[in-house]
Amino acid sequence: MPDFHTENSWATDLYIRNNGTEQRQVWISLFSANGSLINSYSCGLNPNQRCWLPLNSLLPSNSSGSAFVDGGENASVVVARYRPSPYVSAAYTGLTSPATTIYVPLVQRNNSGWYNDLVIMNASASATTPTVHFQRRDLSGDACPQTLSSVPPNGSVTLRTNALACPAGQDFTIGSARVTASQPLALLGVQWKDYTGDGWADALMDDEGLPAAALTTYYPLLQRGNGGTDSGLALQNPGSANTVTLNYYSQAGGGCGQSNLSLPQTSMTIIFPLPVTCPLPYIGSGKATGTQPWLSLVNHNHSTDRDVMSHSAVGGGTQAAAVPLVFRNATALGRSGWYSGLSLQNTSAATASITLHLYDSGGASVYASSWSVAPYATKIVYPLPVAEGFVGSAWVSADRTIAVSATHVVSPASGGDDAWMAYLGVNR
């Protein structure tokens, strides 16, 4: 987990779920940016049980850094970060596959006020020096290379695009990034915008850095004109010239149009708004296939306020996914009224039977149901079919490959904006 904050009114909560079939002890280590151990904790978890660590009550004030969780076997983690005033929130899943090359499909540099922070954690036992290369929108070739300072084991370093100086002719407003090092890295891409000019991020999105490209990716949730909400796609091509075909589907799996894209080598491109042919408002899913491996990111944003959320696209897909944190009209993250929606996409060419299990924080089953879902279609579950006040986790399984996204929204308080956050179910 590359990034946590407890300073300047920020709060960070960790939610750790035991996805296995046995009781286990999970160990959590928290490190400063220089790699020093700040503190360590452990949770004893039964199957399907979840541990909650509110770091602001466990750590000294003004702490920041990165974290490592050893679940023994199959565990998943969500990191939720928020600030109470003006209220803003974001979430990301713990990274399970550190690599010496990490990709970030969308990096912004004063794109209508949007910027990125790249928070890079050294996930190895030896010091390493990361190098960041940027790829520009619809332009071939790496640009604006940045060699960062040496990062000690378990330490972290942050590159901020609002402080980035690029050589002449290599400036960019919208791009992507490739980060390399001699040792495995974990990376968090933070998209943020300061609407009020007070120096605080009034909108925030967290995106996990991706360790590998794929030929085919899936989008469990896509929107256009859905109550003012639209989805945008960022496509990163890390290698040679690529042709990507993107198909849009209705919730029932019907065709809603296609995008055919030619991506120059080491470049990225944006699709916004989605060119769907089905009637608006559109809520559906997508599948995209390239001639070369590539990567993608989904942003969801509201047209008139600061509601934003983001998650990566799923490459491949598995037959089970864990969602460590879900709500129904619950109090969490410093606010009341959190709700979750789950988008369960069948990523196979045959009809799938998809089963959703919901568990309370103690691991007790509170709901289970199955649906028959057409090829590439999505079953959307919102609100969750559980009692009001529920805070728990979900497990999704199927007889075909699936992709799962979780979206969360909290109602406005005292005239403020809603807050959104999203992440992918952890494929298992």
Residue 169 burial (10 A CB sphere; 0-12, 13-18, 19+): exposed
pLDDT attached to residue 417 = 54
Q: What one-character-per-residue DSSP string does 347-387 give? A: -SSS-EEEEEEEEETTS-EEEEEEEEE-TT-EEEE-S-SS-
pTM: 0.95
Indicate whether 416 pLDDT > 70. Answer: no
Could you say which DSSP state residue 177 is in? E
Q: Which domains does the chain have, with CATH numbers?
A: 4-93 (2.60.290.11), 99-208 (2.60.290.11), 214-315 (2.60.290.11), 318-427 (2.60.290.11)
Model confidence band, residue 235 (pLDDT cutoffs 50, 70, 90): very high
Alpha helices by DSSP H, 174-268: none
| 58 phi/psi in degrees, rounded to 5 | -110, -20
Residue written as tokens 């076997």? Answer: 73
Model confidence band, residue 306 (pLDDT cutoffs 50, 70, 90): confident
Task: Give the E-state strand segments of 46-98 in sequence order.
Answer: 50-54, 64-70, 75-84, 87-93
Tokens of 342: 């789950």
Could you say which DSSP state residue 151 is in? B
Residues in the chain: 428
Q: Are strands 242-250 and 255-263 parallel, antiparallel or unpaired?
A: antiparallel
Q: What is the mean pLDDT of residues 212-232?
A: 94
Whether 183 contacts 128, CB under 8 Å = yes
Query: What is d(CA 42, CA 390) in angstroms, rounded to the nearest whole number?
Result: 24
Indicate whether 42 pLDDT > 90. Answer: yes
| pLDDT tens string 81-136 | 998 877 889 999 999 889 999 999 999 999 999 999 999 999 999 999 999 999 99
| pLDDT tens string 237-281 | 999 999 999 999 999 999 999 999 999 999 999 999 999 999 999
Best CA proximity match to 339, nearest among 388, 403, 395, 284: 388
Query: What is d(CA 167, CA 150) in angstroms, rounded to the nearest whole number?
Result: 22
